[in-house]
Amino acid sequence: MERKTIRQRIKSDPVWVKAGILSVITVICFVSVYLRDNSRNIETNEQGQEILSRDGTGQDRTQEMTVSIDGREKNVKIPVSGRQYDSRELKQVFQSSADSLDKLILGENTSLDEVRKDLDLITEIPDTGISVSWETDNYDVVDIQGHLNQEDLDGGGTEVKLTAVMRYGAEQAVHELWVRVFPPLLSGEEELMKALDESIRESDEDTKTKEYLILPETVNGKKVVWKYGTENRAFAILAAGAGASCMLVVSAAQKKKEQEKKEVRQMKIDYPGIINKFNLYIRAGMTIRRAWFLIAEDYEKRKGKEKRRAYEEMIYTMRQIRDGRPEGESYENFGIRCGVPPYRKFGAMLSQNVRKGSKGLTELLGREAEEAFEDRINLAKKLGEEAGTRLMIPMFLMLAIVFATVIVPAFFSIRI
């Protein structure tokens, strides 16, 4: 039964399938890597001696090994120096490295006889351990990083000699290369704009003593039409206006939300008072309608500028009843309009008692008054905690001001 439940769960939820596949792949990878790392045999040379291979590029490394002596195993770390070339091998490596430099430094160029983009002057020959430093006989055209300065170059190309100094330990070899640097290839539009820039520069030089700059009428035989560039101030105004409009909408929505939150809090605060008054009037022998009208009329006489949402809804309900609306429906709609659970419960309770009679209403109102009082106490505690939290911000600001007042004068009074 348990096996069937697991199968159904896997079939209904693809996440289990993906998790299972991932787990299987993880186990396979773990086993493969573990076996590869821990089941290697020690290499031997032609004489059968156990050996550790050196790095062919001359890099030193450390090999972790396990040695067993007298049946006791111990982990050791063996430093293995990189392999060094002998004099004959080093000469051959220098020669092969020099032969490969022509291609290694090309970068995006196709040939050293036509260089139009930056060269890749490498600092190390790959897989050899040989470092390379560069010198150039014309730093104004090519620097030692291979960056080109192609301004004011001759269209026929400019020859530059590069000197590569290859080093391996204390040994070094020098190799010279010649490159021909050309101006960059420009598209038709780029050549046109370059000619226009040169024409404007010449006009500026020729008219420096005048009150104006003469704009070129033609460039490379083509007519030039001038007009002022598009100003972006209007777009800035549009963006600012749109941003302000969005801020107004967001601000209005935030204010509405805060107002609704304030009204809900206010209604929760008023609820215990309304229940207690209503309970008092009902126990005094009044009808539900009479008790409702007394509470609403009393608020209407003494209300000031600040309106209380719950009482305003009671006044609205009173007027509906006077206009002939069914009493039970009016109480129920009151709770719905308030939108707060205690008021919905209160409205439904009154509506039910209007339809079925007021028997047991006093007991219901008594329990509701006790619950409302407890909720009022909890709400007061919550509001107190929120007020305390909000007071923390100005307290921290005052603390920062005090620190600044004490520390800044002390800092400036220090004499070094």
- What average pLDDT does this structure show over 27-50? 73
pLDDT at residue 133, rounded to an integer: 92
Cα distances (Å, whole numbers) of residue 150 to 67, 129, 141? 63, 33, 7
**Sign of CA pseudo-dihedral 85, 87, 92, 93:** positive
When mean pLDDT is compared across 20-29, 262-271, 287-296, 362-371, the lowest value belongs to 362-371
Quickly count: other Cβ atoms within 10 Å of residue 335's Cβ: 22
Residues 299 and 283: their CA atoms lie apart, in Å, by: 20
Residues 346 and 339: their CA atoms lie apart, in Å, by: 11
Of the segments 166-175, 247-256, 386-395, which one has the largest average pLDDT value?
Answer: 166-175
pLDDT digits (tens, 9 = 90+) for 355-367: 776 666 777 777 7
pLDDT at residue 416, rounded to an integer: 46
Cα distances (Å, whole numbers) of residue 76 to 41, 49, 73, 161? 17, 19, 10, 52
Contacting residues for 204 by C-beta, under 8 A, at least 6 apart? 213
Q: Is the separation of the CB atoms in 158 and 180 below 8 Å? A: yes
Query: In this model, does residue 396 exceed pLDDT 50?
Result: yes
- What average pLDDT does this structure show over 287-297? 88
When mean pLDDT is compared across 95-99, 328-332, 384-388, the lowest value belongs to 384-388
Q: Give the residue carrying structure tokens 């006093």.
A: 362
Query: In this model, does residue 70 exceed pLDDT 90?
Result: no
Of the segments 54-63, 140-149, 261-270, 341-350, which one has the largest average pLDDT value?
Answer: 140-149
Q: Is the separation of the CB atoms in 220 and 190 below 8 Å? A: no
Mean pLDDT for all residues in the chain: 80
What amino acid is encoded at 112 in this protein? L
Domain ranges of the chain: 87-181, 188-223, 259-395
98 compared with 63, residue with greater pLDDT: 98
pLDDT digits (tens, 9 = 90+) for 109-151: 988 988 888 999 999 988 888 899 999 998 888 998 889 887 7
